[in-house]
Amino acid sequence: MAPSPIVQATLQSSLLAALSNILAQAIAAHRNNVSKFLGPSFIRALGFGVRLNVAFSALMFQFVVFTIVSTPPNFLWQDFLESAFPAYPSPPASKSPDSKKSPSSSSPPPKLSLTNTILKFVLDQTVGAALNTLLFSTFTRSLRHAMLDAPRITSLPSAAKYWSSAGAVDFTAVDFALVWAEAKAEFWPFIIAGAKLWPAVSLVNFTLIKSVQGRNLVGALAGVAWGVYVSLAMAN
């Protein structure tokens, strides 16, 4: 049995989140002129001119876990927007008996609703953007404080063993008042930075992509670029 659309979307987004962090590591290595990189061949094929040990770091762990947690509610949010404000609403059925058409006739396809598209766009770029930004900041900063002593691991099996071990994430060490203060401090910088990307992605999704699954994939692909930016910003 095929996995549900939400499970498929979560798997896609998680893999792309990991990819964005690997790309950020490659870019950082190129900037720092790192000469020793024994990583995947597809990274070497990007033409950065460096070799890099991919680190399955705390930052990558935070990104992937956040994506796993945030993708289902975001999928449901997009599904709600489309259900409440359909892009192509069906025309009201005519009650006139004279309006019956022959079986061979076909009604014209529904047109894109400009009103519904604007409503979805505004809600997504205000309510959706604000909630996602706060969720990202509070979640990743909580994990960061809970994993201050995390080692740098360049082996995937070793990373899986470490991150699944007891004590790898210690939330008793987290000062949640500090986390909330940090999240509020970076709220507007993230919103302003995101305004350079996400409104365009949202506009493409709501005007050209009809399915929620397709919109999630477009958002996840755009999220690779966003993830690279955020990874570099957080690493600094």
pLDDT tens per residue across span 2-61: 789 999 999 999 999 999 988 988 888 777 775 444 445 444 544 444 455 567 778 888
Examine residue 146 and state whether it is found in any structural domain, yes or no.
yes
Q: Tell me the pLDDT of the chain averaged across its residues.
A: 85
Examine residue 197 and state whether it is found in any structural domain, yes or no.
yes
Examine residue 30 and state whether it is found in any structural domain, yes or no.
yes
Q: Give me the number of domains the chain comprises.
A: 1
Examine residue 102 and state whether it is found in any structural domain, yes or no.
no
- Quick: pLDDT tens for 75-90: 999 999 999 999 998 8
Examine residue 104 and state whether it is found in any structural domain, yes or no.
no
d(CA 143, CA 66): 10
Q: What is the pLDDT of residue 234?
A: 80
Supply the range of the domain harboring residue 73: 5-88+110-235
Examine residue 100 and state whether it is found in any structural domain, yes or no.
no
Q: Phi-psi region for residue 50, left (φ > 0), alpha (ψ -120 to 50) or beta?
A: beta
Examine residue 99 and state whether it is found in any structural domain, yes or no.
no
Strands (E), the chain: none
Examine residue 120 and state whether it is found in any structural domain, yes or no.
yes
- Quick: pLDDT tens for 155-195: 778 888 888 888 888 888 899 999 999 999 999 999 999 99
Q: What angle do CA 100, 104, 105 make, to 5 degrees?
A: 55
Which tokens belong to 43?
């990274």
Check the CA dihedral 207-212-214-217 and report its sign.
positive
Q: Is there a contact between 52 and 29 (Cβ–Cβ < 8 Å)?
A: yes
